Amino acid sequence: MKVELFHAPGCSRCTAAREDLKAAATAARADVEWREVNALDEMDYAVERGVLSLPSIVIDGELVFSALPSPQQLRAALLRRPAVRS
Amino acid sequence: MLTIGKLAALAEISADALRYYEEEGLISPADRSASGYRLYDQECVRRIRFIKQAQHCGFTLAEIRELLTLRGSDRACCDDVRTKAIEKKLQLEHKIKAMKSVSKALDRLIADCTRKGRPVAECTILAAFEQTGEKVH
């Protein structure tokens, strides 16, 4: 499962939350592939994914959080999703 | 101190726009004259210049209010403003993408319409707009 955190370098909200969210995501599911995306470097990709505000979280290509979730909210969102078979 | 008329002339906006900015909490008169007229100082002039520049970059008045709050906050830093600018760019890029999609849809409709000089009843563009439950593009 691909979890992408879209952020801007220097965004204080992003920096503060990043480690907690990453820890919550990887603890919730073993198949999590965590990626941090600099929205400024990958503007076209961010637009393609529907990202309008920072930070945002996209799970398997779907914009799930357009505002910062709590680690618990992210965990719940990940557990609701079916496992991807390889 | 400047009256509303003088400030409006200096800032090249209408007095109504200035009153609207005041209603929206973006500016406020520094003082009132003895007869109750609004009086503005140089800070108001700077704020209006700021508002106009930010509007030119696509920020809404609500967003400009946030920027003005950041501008006056000791706890805010340059990165906070930069993030707002990046978010605005994301929103603009979304709009550009949507407009390009609309433009392509019009290209297709124009290309499909080869019946020059035919009655409007046979117009494929009008027919496409009348289709229900189906997107043109």
Q: Would you say residue A51 lies in a domain?
A: yes
Distance CA B15, CA B7 (A): 8
Q: What's the pLDDT at B67?
A: 93
Report residue B1 as tokens: 């101190």
Q: How many domains does chain A have?
A: 1
Q: Would you say residue B71 lies in a domain?
A: no
Residue-wise pLDDT tens digits, B38-54: 999 999 999 999 999 99
| ipTM of the complex as predicted | 0.82
Percent over 90 (pLDDT), chain B: 69
Q: Would you say residue A31 lies in a domain?
A: yes
Distance CA B55, CA B66 (A): 13
Residues A52, B63 contacting (CB under 8 angstroms): no
DSSP, collapsed to helix, strand or coil, labels residue B84 as helix
Q: Would you say residue B82 lies in a domain?
A: yes
One-letter amino acid identity for A34?
A: W
The residue with tokens 């499962």 is: A1
Which chain B residues have a beta carbon less than 8 Å from that of A52?
87, 90-91, 94
Residues in chain A: 86
Q: Would you say residue B114 lies in a domain?
A: yes
B36–chain A nearest CA distance, Å: 43
Do B47 and B87 share a domain, yes or no?
Answer: no
Residue-wise pLDDT tens digits, A3-31: 999 999 877 777 778 889 999 999 999 99
Q: What's the pLDDT at B133?
A: 59
Do B83 and B46 share a domain, yes or no?
Answer: no
Planar angle of CA B10, B64, B2, nearest 5 degrees: 25
Q: Mean pLDDT score of chain B, rounded to an integer?
A: 89
pTM over 0.90: no
- CATH code of residue B14: 1.10.1660.10
Q: How many domains does chain B have?
A: 2
Residue-wise pLDDT tens digits, A48-82: 999 999 999 999 999 999 988 999 999 999 999 88
Which residues sit opposite A44 in a β-bridge?
none
Strands of the sheet containing A2-7, edge to edge, are A33-38, A2-7, A56-59, A62-65
Report residue A18 as tokens: 């990043």
Query: A47–B97: do the CB atoms touch at under 8 Å?
Result: yes
B21–chain A nearest CA distance, Å: 26
Q: What's the pLDDT at A34?
A: 96
A83–chain B nearest CA distance, Å: 31
Q: What's the pLDDT at A15?
A: 78
Which chain B residues have a beta carbon less than 8 Å from that of A12?
77, 79-80
Task: Using only the alpha carbons of chain A, give its radius of gyration.
Answer: 12
- Model confidence at B137: pLDDT above 80: no
What is the phi/psi pair of residue A65, to 5°?
Answer: -125, 120
Average pLDDT over residues B15-35: 93
DSSP, collapsed to helix, strand or coil, labels residue A14 as helix
- Model confidence at B117: pLDDT above 70: yes
Which structural domain range is residue A66 located in? 2-80
Q: Look at residues A70, A82, A86, A85 and name the one whose alpha carbon lies nearest to residue A23.
A: A70
Q: Is B80 on the interface with A (CB under 8 A)?
A: yes
- Model confidence at B124: pLDDT above 90: no
Residue-wise pLDDT tens digits, B34-92: 999 999 999 999 999 999 999 999 999 999 999 999 888 888 888 888 989 999 999 99
Distance CA A40, CA A50 (A): 14
Query: A12–B94: do the CB atoms touch at under 8 Å?
Result: no
Query: B87–A54: do the CB atoms touch at under 8 Å?
Result: yes
